[in-house]
Structure 1
Amino acid sequence: MNPNYSQQWYFKKEDLLRTPSIHSGYTYEQEKIDRAKGCSFILTVGMTLKLPQVTLATATVFLHRFYMRRSLKDYNYYEIGATCIFLATKVEETGRKMKDIVVTVAAKASKKDDMQLSEGSKEYNKWRDTILYLEEVLLEAICFDLTIEHPYQCLLKIIEKIEGSRKLAQTAWAFVNDSLRTPLCVIHKPHVIAAAALYLAAKLTNPELIAADSDTDMVGNEKSNNSVGNWWNHVDATIHDIEEVSIEILDQYSAMAPTGKAVTAPTKPSSEYRPNTPNNPTSPQPQFNTPSYYSDGGSGTTAAVGNSNGNGNAHGLAQGVRMEQ
């Protein structure tokens, strides 16, 4: 594990109750939902642009770090999400044309996938100028710290050491992807998130992996006769931390409707979004002089991972884990 993680970006869990958004009137639940919406927006735009999973992960970490320093009331999550994608493509050297980013962002934000947006149009210029302006705001908020470590590399190293199956790896990878919608990346270090994702994946695909040296496993279940021992000895994480992160990952699914869609935030309109319009004065108005583990980079989430009962979405996976506990 890397002992040189930038400590300024790891907070105590109770710090999530004192964020700028909460100080400006948000509740904890409202902020959690809007952060998740911003992350989902990043993932949706990123998959349309065919960006690697690492780039999407970097963008979501930027978003979570940003909102530890700035308020959702002042900076809309669509605008910041778009800006995080733009910056992440530079950092991860997976650049896309500004035109492609703007057109995709505008279409997804307006919920019109067939939207025809011509370069130089008023709407196009609004999005382009907003992204370019907010890039400086984002960089300042994250202190120009562009170094980010993700759980993926650690996860694959652990799986290699324990000779885990491809199914185990894919399921754990999917849980890591879903963890991006939560602020876990600013609370726990990457290797702890990797261990928790592997723990949840093992509960579904290979339960004997989670058996401990004692007569019971991490959550008190009786030890399996074919136990392979404490696999978590391969990571610098306590059982308590692994369990805590596992619960946090699962908790996000409890906020999902039976269809698997996130519950709509009570403080945000569900209508289409346009940047910097009178109806959406969320961001300071900029003044302008002129208007793998997978072969594709692992961009899939748990929605792409099936389980034994045929339910391939994250909500179904979470239910499976809870049933076994």
Structure 2
Amino acid sequence: MGRLSLRNPLATPEQIAESPSQRQGMTADVEASMRSYACHLIQASGTILCLPQLVMATAQVLLQRFYYLASIQDFPLRGIVLGTLFLACKAEENPQTIRIIINVVDIVVKRDRGYPEVVTDGYDFEYYELKNEMVIGKMQVLRRLAFNVQVELPYGLLANYLRNLELTDQERPETIACGAIFLAARECSVGLPTSPPWWAVFDANAEDVVQVAKAIRVLQARKVPHIMPLSARELKMYGEGVLGEYVAQMRKEMRDKLDAELAFASQEKNVDEGDGGGKRSQAEHVDDGTRPKSRRGVRDSTSRDHNRRRHTSSRSRDTRHGSYRPH
């Protein structure tokens, strides 16, 4: 990055004006949309995981830093989203397992694209592919950022500045915090000190504060597209203009597959219930001679009949010879 310090590395104006993605042919608008969608994935996934806002903001800053040093064409969004979110959880002492992060980000993508929200099996090829992307993304982020994953967010400065201005009903590093305060004060029709200028107290420039406020307005007005390329294959389809058709086809195939699996499971359940009912009816049947006997029962009955016939025959012989004695 341009200025490297222990607090925050800052991008140079040259890096901001022409990023690596733009040098490889991507327009500024497309890159901005992709970055916005990546930040959306991080924010939505962190919300589902009930993570502190500090974790999501750290992951988003790491992602923005990375794409000032590497291009989206070389490192697609999904792997970097997974990697930065994992690193942010560790950096902010809120660790999550790899599997949980992968499953949640995958669910957010499926929800955005209208796919069935089915959790990926931990033994599927799809899961191992996502895990591989996550590991590669994490290592690339650490390598490009020289293992500097410390982020100074404006929240602490925001709270202090608002407290000094006695604007404790609102909230938002130097100029960014002032720009957010400027917007909040205008929204709520709250006057700010002008003698001396309130921004000068915090070592900020009036023009910079206005530029930050405009940038925040642009971000608020930007509509985040919900279908953006996440892998190298989808980047190619996006360039060819067929990504939308691919997503629609995948949506139909996944829904048809889910319907078939549900129908098969329902059929299997009905068959099992039918077999269980037949077995219960046999067990409850009255033994009137028609109840089926077990093999052991048949063997025991045959043995008793045979012994009875032997006893009767012996008694008959004793009677004929006049030597019968009752037992």
TM-score (norm 1): 0.65
- 2:154 alignment partner in structure 1: 151
- 1:240 alignment partner in structure 2: 207
Matched ranges for 1:282-321 at <5 A: none
* CA distance in 1: counterparts of 2:124 and 2:46, whole angstroms: 23
**Greater share of helix:** 2
Provide the secondary structure at the position in 2 that maps to 1:9. Answer: coil
Specify whether residues 165 and 18 from structure 1 end up closer, same or farther in structure 2 by C-alpha distance, changes over 3 A only. same
* CA distance in 2: counterparts of 1:6 and 1:63, whole angstroms: 18
1:58/1:88 contact within 8 Å kept: yes
Specify whether residues 164 and 195 from structure 1 end up closer, same or farther in structure 2 by C-alpha distance, changes over 3 A only. same
- 1:165 alignment partner in structure 2: 168
Alignment-mate amino acid for residue 49 of structure 1: L
* CA distance in 1: counterparts of 2:236 and 2:151, whole angstroms: 31
In structure 2, the gaps of 5 or more residues are 238-327
* CA distance in 2: counterparts of 1:136 and 1:15, whole angstroms: 22
1:16/1:28 contact within 8 Å kept: no
* CA distance in 2: counterparts of 1:101 and 1:8, whole angstroms: 26
* CA distance in 2: counterparts of 1:7 and 1:152, whole angstroms: 14
Matched ranges for 1:101-250 at <5 A: 101-111=101-111, 112=115, 114-166=117-169, 168-169=170-171, 173=172, 190-209=173-192, 212-213=194-195, 230-250=197-217
In structure 1, the gaps of 5 or more residues are 174-189, 214-228, 257-261, 283-325
* CA distance in 2: counterparts of 1:38 and 1:204, whole angstroms: 28
Specify whether residues 115 and 10 from structure 1 end up closer, same or farther in structure 2 by C-alpha distance, changes over 3 A only. same
Provide the secondary structure at the position in 2 that maps to 1:59. Answer: helix
What count of residue pairs does the alignment treat as equivalent? 232
2:59/2:84 contact within 8 Å kept: yes
* CA distance in 2: counterparts of 1:113 and 1:60, whole angstroms: 27
Give deviations 1:233-289, integer Å, cap 9, x for gaps.
Answer: 341211111111111111223433xxxxx2578xx45xxx5x56x55579xxxxxxx
- 1:82 alignment partner in structure 2: 82
* CA distance in 2: counterparts of 1:7 and 1:49, whole angstroms: 27
Specify whether residues 91 and 121 from structure 1 end up closer, same or farther in structure 2 by C-alpha distance, changes over 3 A only. same
Q: How far off is 1:50 after superposition?
A: 1.0
Q: How far off is 1:59 after superposition?
A: 0.3
* CA distance in 1: counterparts of 2:149 and 2:201, whole angstroms: 28
1:196/1:245 contact within 8 Å kept: yes
Q: Which has the larger radius of gyration?
A: 2
Between 1 and 2, higher relative CO (CA 8 Å, sep ≥ 6) is seen in 1
Q: How far off is 1:113 after superposition?
A: 7.0
Provide the secondary structure at the position in 2 that maps to 1:207. Answer: coil
Matched ranges for 1:14-29 at <5 A: 14-29=14-29
Give deviations 1:137-190, integer Å, cap 9, x for gaps.
Answer: 110011111221010000000111122132x22xxx4xxxxxxxxxxxxxxxx2
Alignment-mate amino acid for residue 165 of structure 2: I
Specify whether residues 254 and 26 from structure 1 end up closer, same or farther in structure 2 by C-alpha distance, changes over 3 A only. same
Alignment-mate amino acid for residue 47 of structure 1: T
- 1:252 alignment partner in structure 2: 219
Specify whether residues 280 and 235 from structure 1 end up closer, same or farther in structure 2 by C-alpha distance, changes over 3 A only. same
Q: How far off is 1:17 after superposition?
A: 2.6
TM-score (norm 2): 0.65
Provide the secondary structure at the position in 1 that maps to 2:146. Answer: coil
* CA distance in 2: counterparts of 1:43 and 1:201, whole angstroms: 22
- 1:308 alignment partner in structure 2: none
Q: How far off is 1:109 after superposition?
A: 2.2
* CA distance in 2: counterparts of 1:18 and 1:280, whole angstroms: 20
1:45/1:105 contact within 8 Å kept: yes
